[in-house]
């Protein structure tokens, strides 16, 4: 490892309420599910945990409510070794929750953002020192877009690379996309981005995650596809988050995309072998061992 990268994740923290079912209910229908459990989640928190398990020194800027979910989620982040002084405990809003239905090896998610919308630009000013001392900043779209834009500007001021995971998708202003280092949409988000007038001009900033079909990125107007690893799938929730956390960990160590992507693919593959967004997220040794086993 070249050095312990300093990563700042600005993003969401949710409690995931996960129900497993073999049959997805139709509109107006009730079905009986197989199991229910609470898991720590939120795209921001998931990405922070993924990076921390891989050896990064991670600061998180986010918000939870002053409630039981909030307290246990912040405690959990601390036990993962994540610095939590950038997390606000709001007495105005309750902790964000995600309702996740797990079925047929895939999921459907509805997020009630709650306190995640208390992550306002003033919080970025308040924690400017964290931004300034980071090797890379990682953002998603479960906090106000205004804050995402503000963070990108702040990072630019200090010349710090930024990766934006545009999930859940919202139309991104051209200014934002032009000012970040990479954008990491999945298939659905990339299709929405293709509709934007600026798409051709920003193609080389894209790292598109396609699940089983691997990852595509562009270089000199040529698309390169990096294969994913085949594993027994338990739960794909958080696979994209693991990919993003692993990707920025490698980029912050100065590795090129061509090396960072296969590493992040391996981390994501390991993460989907357990139920719960963060349960299967691997350590650095686990990823390295897996890569050696698979590459022979």
Q: Return the residue of 52, 64, 143, 277 that touches ligand RIB, per CB under 6 A.
A: 277
Give the x-and-dash track for 85-104 against ligand RIB (CB under 6 A).
Answer: -------------x------
When asked if residue 280 is in the footprint of ligand RIB (CB under 6 A), the reply is no
Between residues 189 and 241, which has the closer beta carbon with respect to ligand RIB?
A: 241
Q: Among 163, 126, 166, 117, which Cα is nearest to 144's? A: 117
Q: Which single residue brings its beta carbon nearest to ligand RIB? A: 41
| Per-residue contact string for residues 40-79; x = within reach of ligand RIB by CB under 6 A | -xxx--x---------------------------------
- Closest separation in Å from C-beta 284 to ligand RIB: 22
Catalytic site includes residue 241: yes
For residues 255 to 274, the per-residue mask of contacts with ligand RIB, x marking binding by CB under 6 A and - elsewhere, is --------------------
Smallest distance from ligand RIB to CB 287, Å: 19
Which residues, 184 to 203, sit near ligand RIB by CB under 6 A? none
Report the residue from 238, 245, 262, 280 that binds ligand RIB according to the rule CB under 6 A.
238
**Distance (Å, whole) CA 195 – CA 187:** 13
- With CB under 6 A as the contact rule, the residue among 49, 229, 241, 282 that binds ligand RIB is 241
Nearer to ligand RIB, 151 or 244 (CB): 244
Q: Give the shortest CB-238-to-ligand RIB separation in angstroms.
A: 5
Q: Report CA-CA distances (Å) from 144 to 85, 90, 114, 140, 266.
A: 20, 15, 11, 10, 31
- Residue carrying structure tokens 């960990």: 249
Total interface residues for ligand RIB by CB under 6 A: 16
Check residue 237 for interaction with ligand RIB (CB under 6 A): yes
Site string for ligand RIB, 110-139 (x = CB under 6 A): -x----------------------------
Tell me the catalytic residues: 241
Binding residues vs ligand RIB (CB under 6 A): 12, 14, 16, 41-43, 46, 98, 109, 111, 142, 237-238, 240-241, 277
């Amino acid at each position: 490892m070249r050095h312990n990268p300093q990563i700042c994740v600005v993003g969401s923290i949710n409690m995931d309420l996960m129900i497993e079912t073999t049959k997805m209910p139709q509109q107006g229908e009730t079905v009986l599910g197989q199991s229910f459990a609470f898991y720590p989640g939120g795209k921001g928190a998931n990405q922070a945990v993924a990076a921390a398990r891989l050896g990064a020194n991670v600061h998180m800027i986010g918000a939870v409510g002053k409630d039981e979910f909030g307290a246990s989620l912040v405690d959990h982040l601390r036990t993962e070794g994540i610095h939590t002084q950038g997390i606000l405990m709001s007495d105005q809003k309750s902790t964000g929750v995600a309702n996740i239905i797990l079925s047929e090896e895939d999921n459907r998610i509805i997020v009630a953002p709650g306190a995640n919308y208390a992550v306002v630009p003033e919080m970025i000013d308040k924690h400017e020192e964290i931004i300034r001392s980071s090797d890379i900043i990682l953002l998603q779209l479960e906090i106000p877009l205004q804050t995402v834009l503000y963070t990108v500007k702040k990072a630019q001021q200090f010349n710090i690379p930024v990766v934006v995971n545009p999930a859940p998708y919202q139309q991104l202003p051209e200014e934002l996309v032009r000012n970040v280092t990479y954008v990491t949409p999945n298939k659905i988000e990339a299709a929405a981005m293709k509709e934007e007038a600026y798409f051709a001009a920003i193609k080389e900033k894209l790292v598109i995650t396609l699940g089983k079909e691997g990852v595509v990125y562009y270089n000199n107007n040529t698309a390169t596809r990096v294969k994913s690893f085949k594993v027994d799938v338990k739960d794909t929730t958080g696979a994209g988050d693991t990919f993003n956390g692993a990707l920025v960990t490698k980029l912050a160590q100065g590795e090129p995309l061509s090396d960072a992507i296969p590493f992040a693919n391996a981390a994501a593959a390991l993460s989907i072998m357990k139920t719960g967004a963060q349960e299967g997220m691997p350590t650095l040794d686990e990823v390295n061992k897996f890569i050696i086993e698979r590459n022979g």
